Amino acid sequence: MKSITTFIGAAALATLSLSVFAQPAQPDLRRGAELFGQMCIACHGVDGNSTTVANPSIAQQHPEYTLKQLRDYASGQRQNAIMSGFAAALSDQDKINVSFWLATQTKTPGYARNKETIALGERIFRGGLANRQVPACMACHGPAGAGLPALYPRLAGQHAEYTADQMRQFRSGARNNNAPMSGIARYMTDAEIEAVSDFIAGLR
């Protein structure tokens, strides 16, 4: 239990920078909507609600989190051939504009689909895996998966396939822009990742 508490504390310290890394310039929501329609809608759907499981739904995401991801893509800290190009093409002000506009959009609810793994997914989300230093997901992301502004992203309703893919990338090191999540994912099996990702998809 002590190791889990310490790990959560480290995660909090590592992600606290999101609240202080910048006080964003005043966002232009109208410009954010324009840019989203020009550059993002094809993959992320109308109003940020993606209908393609490989692409995340980003409506109603905390703007500080979206902004950090765009900056990480642009800098190369987070790798994705498509997103890196789009992010690099945006000025920092326009990254702010898009991020804050997306936060004003309403996330379409998702659904858990695998009734056989729902109990395992809920157990991991609410209680973690104490014997493997995996803290409860809700300790950071909240009991309903709503996250915490400027610290932890909203997860509720996200495509299970996308969440599972990101967890595997954290585990393998392919995604390395969040050290606490990499440390958590390394202790999880594919079956556990898939179960908790499906459970998260059904959170409201």
What's the whole-number mean pLDDT along residues 178-187? 97
Indicate if the alpha-carbon torsion angle 149, 135, 12, 92 is positive or negative.
negative
Q: Quick one: angle between helices 63-75 and 81-89, nearest 10?
A: 100
Residue 138 phi/psi, 5° resolution? -70, -15
> What CATH class does 15-103 carry?
mainly alpha
Among positive and negative, which fits the CA dihedral 192, 193, 199, 203?
positive
Among 1-15, 70-84, 88-102, 125-139, the least confident range: 1-15
Q: What span, in angstroms and rounded, lies between the C-alpha atoms of 194 and 68?
A: 26
Q: Name the one residue in this structure whose structure tokens are 């506009």.
A: 101
Chain segment 185-200, per-residue pLDDT in tens? 999 999 999 999 999 9
Q: What is the pLDDT of residue 24?
A: 58
pLDDT above 90: percentage of residues in the chain: 87
Whether residue 1 is predicted with pLDDT greater than 50 in this model: the reply is no
pLDDT at 7 over 60: no
Fold match between 15-103 and 109-201?
A: yes
Q: What are the residue ranges spanned by the domains of the chain?
A: 15-103, 109-201
Task: Identify the burial level of 190 via C-beta atoms within 10 angstroms of its C-beta, where 0-12 means exposed, 13-18 middle and 19 or more buried.
Answer: exposed
CA end-to-end distance (rounded Å), the chain: 29
d(CA 174, CA 153): 19
- pLDDT for 25 equals 79
- Per-residue pLDDT reduced to its tens digit, 17-67: 444 445 557 999 999 999 999 999 999 999 999 999 999 999 999 999 999
pTM, to two decimals: 0.88
Counting residues of the chain whose pLDDT is more than 70, the rounded percentage is: 88
Q: Does domain 109-201 have CATH number 1.10.760.10?
A: yes
Higher pLDDT, 105 or 5: 105
Distance CA 122, CA 84 (A): 34
Query: Does position 9 have pLDDT exceeding 90, yes or no?
Result: no
Q: Residue 22's pLDDT is what? A: 52
Q: Cβ–Cβ contacts within 10 Å for residue 88, how many?
A: 12
